[in-house]
Structures are given as structure tokens and as C-alpha cells.
Amino acid sequence: MEDRFGHRISYLRVSVTDRCNERCVYCMPQELQEWLPRAEILRYEEIARLVRVATTLGVTKLRVTGGEPLTRSNVLELFRLLAEIPALRDLGVSTNGSLLPRIVDVAGRRMTMAAALRHYGVRTVNISLDTLDAAQYTAITGRDFLAQTLAGLDAARAAGFESIKLNCVLMRGRNEDQLPALIHYAGEHGYLLRFIELMPVSTTDVLTEENFLPIAEARRLIERSTGPLTARPDFKTNGPALYFQLPNSEQLIGFIGAMTDLHFCESCNKLRLTCEGKLRPCLGSYLEFDIREPLRAGASDEVLAQFFRDVVDRKPQQHDFRENYQPNRKMVAIGG
Ligand code: SAM
Ligand code: SF4
């Protein structure tokens, strides 16, 4: 699938739940939240059917996300179904990591959740880690889960994923003192660390002039302790991150600048499916289209395929975060 601006769509991000066991300040409101009723959430068979249709249109890469995808009950059943779709060459998961060490049963064998995901063909995991300081972790996520998240990272390493990425959201006044420690930790364990600019996709107080830390400034802060970074434009993962190499080291770190990188959208290859069955052509736009309705009304694969094509046709040239803040649209409900 290709849109009007030449973006080739090969990557689908599927949010499987709007629920989460953490309460990150930038992602969801701190007060008690209303979850979507169960009947509104796509069933695993429904998700797998839509993914199968998407693969007939050139989608080869899928990332399961949320909310926290590993909180959804029996989530391994979804991975079992996805493993049966041969055209899906690259399967990844985004998680806060806290449930990766949990022991689960797969066909009579006990293993960690991380090992079970690997067992079902998950190749990459992206794990959120904004700080290595326990008190700060609790202040940011609302939960005292640093130790179990680090145990989750150990479980992921033991499970043998092809790549483990760490995602750190930059927040002035909260975690800017942690950047060198996170780099050191990632380097020590072989994780690819990326720093992400705060995006305005949650409650109104998320992004202010005071707490926004642009990637260029984060880079300067980092260079104060590491020495000069070298740009590595030749190194690309599947997303918009810009990579740099540390001096006297092989280690790379990435910067994802949704707000200040003006080339951010140029190579966009993504489409998103929310947990309640909305197809979103762009994270940073209000546009979304309900594919659950035709799906549940008995639409054929061809009709669903046309639905995908029509949504891709509506993909904007670039996101409009910079002009159009979305104070009421919660990241946790869209799927990051
Ligand atoms: N629960 C999983 C996790 O935390 O990785 C998956 C879903 S989460 C919404 C996906 C990613 O979005 C995380 O790396 C998180 O840090 C990021 N994220 C959430 N809200 C954000 C915001 N307002 N700005 C930038 N990144 C955000
Ligand atoms: Fe949950 Fe992930 Fe959002 Fe944090 S970023 S509240 S872990 S969904």
C-alpha cells in the first residue's frame, strides 16, 4: 500500500488493550480511569483476521502494543494466532517490561512471559525505561515497579530476542539527570537506547514549556558527560529515530524527535489499529476509521482490504502535533 505522498505502508501497530498496570504521567490520567467495555475490544480472532488481510496488502511487520499488552488476559493466544500468519516476517512487542519475568505455562512447560513471546516468534521487544532511580520511576509511572522491570529486561535478554530496545521519554525536571546512567546501563547489556520527545497526547498538563526537553538539548546534555557524539545516518531501524555513536565505543543511541525533527514523517511506513478497532493513519492526527463495524457485520476479506486502502489514502503528509494539541486523546487508548 502506498499513500498520496509516497509513504509505503508495511508496518502495522496493533494496540490490544487500553488498560495498563502503570500510570505514566505523560500517557494517562492519574485519577481512576474508565476502561473500554470488553465487548468493544477486538477479540484475538478478529485482530488476527485483520492482520491477515493487512499482510495481503504488503504489511510484513507488526508490533503489538497498548496500554500494556501483557496485562490482557490470555494474551499468548494472540501470539499463537499471529505465529500462524507466514507473511508476517517481523513481530515485535512494546511493553513496560514489568510482566516479562512472570512465569507462564506454554503447552505444559513453565517459562517466563519473555521466553513465551520468543517461543511464538516475537523477534524484538521495546521496553520503556525512563530512569534507573527507584523513587523517580515510581514518581513517573505511579508504580513501584523498577525492580520487576529490570528483572523483565533480564528475562528478555535470557529469552534471546533479536533486538531489545529501551525507550526513554525525555522530561525536563524529571529524568534529565538520568541520561548518562541509562546510556551506561544500555551499553553494559547490549540494549539499543532511544530518547523520545514528549508528545502532546494525554491530559493537558503533560506537555508544557517547562517540562519539554528537545532532543537537540538532550544531545548536548549527554555530550557533556560522554564527549562528542558522531551522527550515524547510515544506521536505520524501522522508525524515525536518528542514531549517534558514542566516542571510543561501538554503542549507538537514538533520538526520536516527533516535535522538533522536521523530517520525522518523511519515511513513515505505519498504520495503527486501536484496541476497539479504529484504523488510524497517523498517531498525530484526529483521523480514525472504524473497521470493527464492517468486520462484525460480516464483511469479506476484499471489503476489509479496500477499507485498509481507503484509510491509507487518507494518511496525512505529516502529523499535526505542532499545530494541533490533542489534550483529550490519551496515548494509552491509541496505542503508542
Ligand atoms: N505500555 C507499553 C510501554 O510502556 O512501552 C506500550 C504502550 S506505550 C503507550 C508505548 C510508548 O509510548 C512507550 O515507550 C511510552 O513511553 C511512549 N509514550 C507514551 N506517552 C507518550 C507521550 N506523551 N510522549 C512520548 N511518548 C509517549
Ligand atoms: Fe502504561 Fe506504557 Fe502508558 Fe506507561 S507508557 S501508562 S506503561 S501504556
DSSP code, position 2: B
Prediction pTM value: 0.93
Tell me the C-alpha to C-alpha distance, in Å, between residue 124 and each of 63, 117, 284. 9, 10, 24
Task: Say yes or no to pLDDT of 62 above 80.
Answer: yes
Say if ligand 2 is within 6 A of residue 25 CB: no
Tens of pLDDT along 93-139?
999 999 999 999 999 999 999 999 999 999 999 999 999 999 999 99
| Cα(2) to centroid(ligand 1), Å | 27
Tens of pLDDT along 172-182?
999 999 999 99
| CA–CA separation, 22 and 43 (whole Å) | 23
Task: Say yes or no to pLDDT of 325 above 50.
Answer: no
DSSP state letters, 130-177: --S-HHHHHHHHSS--HHHHHHHHHHHHHHT-SEEEEEEE-BTTTTGG
Name residue, grid cell 522538533.
260
Say if ligand 1 is within 6 A of residue 206 CB: yes
Which range (6-20, 43-57, 312-326) has the least confidence?
Answer: 312-326
Q: Are 279 and 273 in contact (CB under 8 A)?
A: yes
| Cα(65) to centroid(ligand 2), Å | 10
Written as nine digits, the cell of 286 is 484526529
Architecture of domain 11-334: Alpha-Beta Barrel (3.20)
| Ligand in nearest proximity to the CA of 70 | 1
Say if ligand 2 is within 6 A of residue 67 CB: yes
Say if ligand 1 is within 6 A of residue 193 CB: no
Domain-wise residue ranges, the chain: 11-334
Tens of pLDDT along 180-220?
999 999 999 999 999 999 988 755 566 677 889 999 999 99
Tens of pLDDT along 253-303?
999 998 888 777 877 888 999 999 999 988 777 789 999 999 999 999 999
Which range (138-142, 232-236, 308-312, 320-324) has the least confidence?
Answer: 320-324
Q: Which residues does residue 270 pair with via DSSP β-bridges, in sequence order? A: 11
| Cα(266) to centroid(ligand 1), Å | 21
| Cα(61) to centroid(ligand 2), Å | 22
| CA–CA separation, 146 and 81 (whole Å) | 31
